Structure 1
Amino acid sequence: MARRCELTGMGPRTGNNVSHANNRTKRRFLPNLCKVTLHSDKLGEGFKFRIAASTLRTVDHMGGLDVFLNKAKDEQLSPSALKVKRKLAKAS
């Protein structure tokens, strides 16, 4: 399973472990993915996503799943999130 946020497309980043002696070795920084069920107000149902914790805070800050998906770019969304976005568009 890909380590990628379904709503923002955030994936692993690369960097270095730096020791006390300043030796550098490559490492990966993985996103903090959580399995959550987000509720849509317009559709009246919940949808399960695997999203980053930072994305969950962003969705709450923006006012919910409906508002977030309306403003999100289609390139960043997963296929399951795109289906929900299309359902929202039809319901409006």
Structure 2
Amino acid sequence: MSEKLTESITFKCTYEEKRDLEAIAKSDNKTLSEHVRSLGISNISEVRERINHLASFMRMTTDTVDTQIFELTAEPLQKRTGTKKAQLREQLSLSAVHTEI
């Protein structure tokens, strides 16, 4: 990894988890730090992909003007014209009950 690394992350795990992670890293010819970093980068990519996918359905955009951290902001809604029935259906969809099985 050629870029200059300027931050450090500390996390807690059991000795057994650390041994397992070190063994996995060693099998890939990486240090523990490189292995954990690659897992983090992979996780970030997956989450960004999921957010971008959901953003298209929710009419949301990512705003990264001033920072490397992305946040979702709602696009302005267009003025709707329709009947009261359509508005009631939208309200009902917002109050859907979700249960865990």
Q: TM exceeds 0.5?
A: no
Bigger-Rg structure (1/2): 2
Q: Which has the higher contact order (CA 8 A, sep 6+)?
A: 1
Q: State TM-score, norm by structure 1.
A: 0.26
Q: State TM-score, norm by structure 2.
A: 0.24
- Higher-strand-fraction structure: 1
